[in-house]
Amino acid sequence: MSCEDDDDYGWDDYVYEPIITVQNIKVSINTISKNDVKTIEEALTLCLDMKLDKLNVILKNMNVYNVGDCLIVNDRYRISPNLIDIVNGFGMKIKPIKIEGMRGNTYIIGDIVTGLLKISGVSYDYTKNLSILQQAVNIDNKQLFSDLSNRYLSDLELVSFIREIKREGFVSIDGKETFVDNESQGVESDRYRVEEKLQKFLSDIRRETCQIKKHVQNGTIELLADRAKKMGYTVQKKQVDKQIQLVLVRND
Amino acid sequence: MEEKKITIDVFEDGQIHATTDGFVGTECVTELDRLMKDIARNVTRKKKNEYFQEKISNDTKVKVKND
């Protein structure tokens, strides 16, 4: 039999057709671990603890209520006219509000930390640092801060990722693995986008916790300046390298 | 009129350094305690020479005698 005879067997008509199979798989992402989430929660809680510990020097003389993630502070006897500067010094949000039945000055105070903690499903317990009155406060919800870390909380995907990490230890997303003749051609998934999102969240949180030292430093300065003014000193503030200097002068 | 001056440095790590000028005797400690109450904890003090001086006060009293 010659080679030409092969035609009779139809070899020239043979077309190689690879067997392609696509398999749905789960892709695990470990950009942030369960331990990272725990560390984030602890660091954020500590941040707010430090601020409130100092701020309590002034808040303990006022009536403090807890509504949602915010504090309602009633300075009934107007003992601290500089409260806004002091709270801002601590990097917290404050705005004056009107509440029926409350005399003097009333403010709402909030901190981005409570919103960030909410992402992983944690509610900050104000009672451990402050003496909170249990009386119900009749407040219009529109007066509350709604933008505390809203940019994260409104990202439902991120919230679900963080809570999944807290529960399972990793994020699991859908992926497709393609096989050609039983040989894997790789996995197609959103992995890089999700990793990038988690990485950005992690670095934002780290930046936030790094700022805390600066906030506590500024808040302490405002507290001291406020007290010094009440003691009759003129106050001058200046930045010297990394420390902030207060020069208090009084002529007796 | 005596000028009393307190210079306070607040560091990023939470440390607070304060120095006083123009105070005599224990007056500076009392004044700093008032100023730092509940804000600064674990206080260490370094006393200056002025701390060991006595405050001299001149109270001028006039007695009116009605004979």
Query: What are the pLDDT digits (tens) for A158-167?
Result: 999 999 999 9
Q: Is A182 on the interface with B (CB under 8 A)?
A: no
Stretch A26-46: mean pLDDT: 93
The distance of A198 to chain B (nearest Cα, Å) reads 29
What pLDDT is stored for residue A22 in this prediction? 93
Q: Which of A6-15, A158-167, A210-219 shows the highest mean pLDDT?
A: A158-167
Task: Indicate the number of domains in chain B.
Answer: 1
pLDDT at A21 over 90: yes
Spatial CB neighbours of A192, under 8 Å, sequence gap ≥ 6: none
Asked if residue A6 has pLDDT above 80, the reply is no
User: B13 in contact with A at a CB cutoff of 8 Å?
Assistant: yes
Report which of residues B25 and B1 the model is more confident about: B25
Beta bridge partners of A156: none
Inter-chain CB proximity A231 and B34 less than 8 Å: yes
Taking CB atoms and an 8 Å cutoff, what residues of chain A touch B39? 54, 57, 220, 223-224, 227
Please say if the pLDDT value at position A2 is more than 70.
Answer: no
For residue A209, give both structure tokens: 């916790």
Task: Determine, yes or no, domain membership for B15.
Answer: yes
Contact A242 B8 (CB under 8 A): no
Q: What is the 3-state secondary structure (H, E, C) of chain A?
A: CCHHHHHHHCHHHCCCCCCEEEEEEEEEECCCCHHHHHHHHHHHHHHHHHHHHHHHHHHCCCEEEEECCEEEEEECCCCCCCHHHHHHHCCCEEEEECCCCCCCEEEEEECHHHHHHHHCCCCCCHHHCCCCECCCCCCCHHHCCCCCCHHHHCCHHHHHHHHHHHHHCCEEEEEEEEEECCEEEEEEECHHHHHHHHHHHHHHHHHHHHHHHHHHHHHHHHHHHHHHHHCCCEEEEEEECCEEEEEEEEEC
Asked, for residue B39, whether it belongs to a domain, the answer is yes
The answer to whether residue A36 is domain-embedded is yes
pLDDT confidence tier of residue A151, bands split at 50, 70 and 90: confident
CA distance A84 to A75: 12
Q: Residue B30 pLDDT more than 80? A: yes
Residue A166 domain-assigned (yes or no): yes
Do you know the residue count of chain A? 252
Position A216, amino acid: V
Examine residue A227 and state whether it is found in any structural domain, yes or no.
no
**Which residue segment(s) compose the domain that B43 sits in?**
5-52
* pTM for the structure as a whole: 0.79
Residues of A in contact with B13 (CB under 8 A): 213
pLDDT tens digit sequence for A67-108: 888 899 999 999 888 999 999 999 999 999 988 888 999 999
Put simply, whether A235 touches B (Cβ < 8 Å) is no
Tell me the pLDDT band of A1, cut-offs 50, 70 and 90.
Answer: very low
Q: Is residue A187 part of a domain?
A: yes
The residue written with tokens 């009605």 in the block is B66
Residue A11 lies in a domain: no
Domains: count for chain A: 1
Taking CB atoms and an 8 Å limit, are B8 and A246 in contact across chains? yes
Residue with tokens 């030292």: A213
Do B14 and A242 count as a contact with CB atoms less than 8 A apart?
no
Is 70 exceeded by the pLDDT of residue A199?
A: yes
Q: Of A105-109, A138-142, B54-58, which gets the smallest average pLDDT? A: B54-58
Measured between CA atoms, how close is B67 to chain A, in angstroms? 38
List the single residue in A with minimal CA-CA distance to B14.
A217
Residue A224 lies in a domain: no
- Cα A59 versus chain centre, distance: 24
Whether residue B44 lies inside any domain: the answer is: yes
In a domain, residue A175? The reply is yes
Domain that holds residue A194: 25-212
Task: Report chain B residues whose CB lies below 8 A from the CB of A220.
Answer: 10, 14, 16, 39
Return mean pLDDT, chain B.
Answer: 83
Q: Is residue B67 part of a domain?
A: no
Residue B58 lies in a domain: no
Instruction: Tell me the chain B residues in contact with residue A224 when contact means C-beta distances shorter than 8 Å.
Output: 8, 10, 16, 35-36, 39
pLDDT-wise least confident of B34-38, B42-46, B57-61: B57-61
B58 has a chain A CB within 8 A of its CB:
no
